[in-house]
A and B are shown apart, each in its own frame.
Chain A
Amino acid sequence: MVFTSLFYHLREKGLKVSINEWLALIEALTQGLAYSSLLEFYYMSRTILVKSEADFDKFDLAFSSYFEGMLNEGEIPEELLEYLSKPIEQQDYDQAEVDARTNLEFDELRQLLEQRLREQVGAHNGGKRWIGTGGTSPLGNSGYAKTGIRVGGQGERGSALQVAGRRGFRDFREDETLGIRQFQTAFRRLRQMSARQNAEKSELDLDQTIKRTSENAGMLKLAYRSPRKNSIKLLLMFDSGGSMEPYAQICNQLFQAVSKANHFAQLKIYYFHNCPYNRIYETPACIYPESMDTQWLLDNLSSDYKVILVGDASMAMWEMRYYTGGRKSRPGDQISGLAWLKQFVRKYDNAIWFNPIPQDLWDSSKGRESIARIRQEIPMYQLSVAGIEAGIRHLIAAR
């Protein structure tokens, strides 16, 4: 099989390439669609194997790391590249003879290239053995061979490795934090259609009614179905102010994405500072007149709400263990922030925390202690597209 190891290499690098897609690629190769050029092969394999621009960058990295080891272009001597860049015209050849001679597997071609590179001295154009141009050798450019490796003379389009190495799709990676649109797309996954949950059949099914009526010789026969509505109730709480200022923009995007996604059965958005304490605020300003008892919230929002907390989870440990979180205390404050958080987690089976701090900094950032403590209570995900997707998968997973 032609370089099956590439298949495993791509999968190892986290690309979800399936057997079907791989077979399609093999078929395309068999049909000669890559025109024996690594650049064409790069584009072809990308178009067949990769199904999202978010994975292009991963593919570029995997592709170049795979081929760099085998075909290091840097090893091709300068003087060789120089004469290869001035190709001669194609010489006459007998196609049948050339096809039979140059029908080689990729591995054979690679060995051949290595061998020629060791032995070749000077220019050899128009021939059938050496790396050159205009001839019928499988190595070189501007010649004819059934299969071959293009060496030099790429023109303005660059080689596959150059194109892959350019990583033009870095911006599309899913683990990068992205705009509001991507958030919206991610939140679309947060839905559970009530029709799947055996809800009551309360909606008139017109198509079925007509069908049954006509089958019933015109006598009216009604049919009902369960309404397909999203049954998700969502409680979203943002940490606001203080250390959250740098993340205001991204929180704003998340807020807009969620509030525009009007497919939730219920959506409640509240604010807190550092950690939920005994008051939950209705506005990001976190002022007392626009607040409510946290206990009231816990009592009144049923346990089938999905809960998302958004915050950097970075605070002094005493702020978490104390009952005011650095705010002016009010009479009746007795429960610490951590205890409130525990109450939320206990009441709501589906609760997660999104943290705008990149995940690889969680262990080293200023708030590493409080982040670690909060993660003991509640699953934490990075506030990025990939993080949101993972978090939402956790939210809708059955308990």
Chain B
Amino acid sequence: MNGEFKSNRYIVSDDLMRSVNIAVALKKPLLVKGEPGTGKTMLAEAISKTFGKKLYIWNIKSTTKAQEGLYTYDAVQRLYDSQFGGKGVDDIARYIKLGKLGEAFTNDEQVVLLIDEIDKADLEFPNDLLWELDKMEFYIPETRETVTARERPIVIITSNAEKELPDAFLRRCIFHYIAFPEPSAMEEIVRAHFDSLDETLLHQAMGAFYMIRNVNGIQKKPSTSELLDWLQALQIGGVDPSVLSREIPYSGVLLKKNEDMERIAPPESKTPWRRN
């Protein structure tokens, strides 16, 4: 590892930088948790750029199995080949395809491996990866081969806290929680996304945005990505910034629930919540 992690383009807080450095030094996976839209995924890109290392992204879906990250054995292709006389059917290794974890292990250089949204998968998923992430190796029974990481990858894992992660898994990670950005930090993030933005519009919109987030009882608080979308909508729609102090145009971009829309609506149109 040469030099500590300092990012230039992506907005990384001091806290986060500290956690990244600790994770790299201790050779443990860094688990990053935070509200959606706080830039968890971009963090891995920033790290890979800063260290000049290749980035492997393993996107987790609800159907993803731990095995897929290691390797898959293409039995169908093999069966097909055997029936139609393809060459090399007896060589089982031809039908083993490495997954993202496998690829990261077999790379000659150290790489950054992002396991994105690990909480999307089944509850048992993280447990199935304990050994592999600990020892940085796995065994392929089909070929009786052990794949060992040549250079231990820097592992970044993100979670939206949709599911609780198992304790055994957590114990092996370095944990970082990205708090929702303060207005000043948010301004930086916004500026990083927009080339040109009307100053008045930015300040009025930010004010309205944090006001909405603080409204009591909002069920789905708007996040960074919604603010960015909203700003874009305001920009394209050519909304006069002074309107924002009275009403919220395009509120559907910010709020995704009917109840929340009603809550921020002006008093006369507000319908009281009923029990049935």
- Chain B 211-254, CB-CB to A under 8 Å as 1, else 0, gives 00000010100000000000000000000000000000000000
- Chain A 23-44, CB-CB to B under 8 Å as 1, else 0, gives 0100110010100000010011
- Candidates A168, A213, A218, A284; contact of B276 at CB < 8 Å: A284
- Chain A 51-75, CB-CB to B under 8 Å as 1, else 0, gives 1110010000000000000000000
What residue of chain A has the Cβ atom nearest to residue B16's Cβ? A47
Bound state CA distance, A21 and B168, in angstroms?
11
Q: A342 at the A/B interface (Cβ < 8 Å)? A: no
* A53 and B33 form a contact (CB under 8 A): yes
**Chain A residues positioned under 8 Å from B170 (CB to CB):** 51-52
**Chain B residues positioned under 8 Å from A341 (CB to CB):** none
**Chain A residues positioned under 8 Å from B273 (CB to CB):** 248-249, 252
Number of chain A residues whose Cβ lies closer than 8 Å to a Cβ of chain B:
40
* A40 and B83 form a contact (CB under 8 A): no
Q: A201 at the A/B interface (Cβ < 8 Å)? A: no
* A185 and B18 form a contact (CB under 8 A): no
Shortest beta-carbon distance from B169 to chain A in Å:
9
A53 touching B217 in the complex, CB below 8 Å, given contacts A40-B18, A218-B79, A218-B82: no
* A28 and B26 form a contact (CB under 8 A): yes
Bound state CA distance, A240 and B73, in angstroms?
56
* B75 and A211 form a contact (CB under 8 A): yes
Bound state CA distance, A120 and B168, in angstroms?
49
Bound state CA distance, A211 and B82, in angstroms?
13
- Candidates A44, A185, A189, A214; contact of B162 at CB < 8 Å: A185
Q: A372 at the A/B interface (Cβ < 8 Å)? A: no
* A189 and B164 form a contact (CB under 8 A): yes
Shortest beta-carbon distance from A368 to chain B in Å:
26
Q: B173 at the A/B interface (Cβ < 8 Å)? A: yes
What residue of chain A has the Cβ atom nearest to residue B67's Cβ? A207
* A51 and B31 form a contact (CB under 8 A): yes
A51 touching B175 in the complex, CB below 8 Å, given contacts A44-B22, A284-B276: yes
* A27 and B82 form a contact (CB under 8 A): no
- Chain B 152-176, CB-CB to A under 8 Å as 1, else 0, gives 0000000001111101001111111
- Chain B 12-29, CB-CB to A under 8 Å as 1, else 0, gives 001100110110011010
* B79 and A210 form a contact (CB under 8 A): yes
A-B residue pair count with CB separations less than 8 angstroms: 85
Please classify the interface of chain A as helix (H, G, I), strand (E, B), loop, or mixed, using the class held by over half of its residues: helix
* B79 and A180 form a contact (CB under 8 A): no
What residue of chain B has the Cβ atom nearest to residue A188's Cβ? B163
Bound state CA distance, A197 and B73, in angstroms?
29
Q: Which of B1-53 contact A (CB under 8 A)?
A: 14-15, 18-19, 21-22, 25-26, 28, 31, 33
A218 touching B83 in the complex, CB below 8 Å, given contacts A24-B26, A285-B275: yes
A180 touching B219 in the complex, CB below 8 Å, given contacts A185-B162, A185-B164: yes
* B176 and A284 form a contact (CB under 8 A): no
**Chain B residues positioned under 8 Å from A188 (CB to CB):** 123, 163-164
On A, residues with C-beta under 8 Å from B are: 16, 18, 20-21, 24, 27-28, 31, 33, 40, 43-44, 47-48, 50-53, 56, 157, 168, 179-180, 185, 188-189, 207, 210-211, 213-214, 217-218, 240, 248-249, 252, 283-285
Q: List 11 additional A-B contacts (Cβ < 8 Å) besides A24-B174, A50-B175.
A: A24-B28, A33-B21, A33-B22, A47-B175, A47-B176, A56-B177, A168-B179, A188-B164, A210-B76, A218-B83, A284-B275
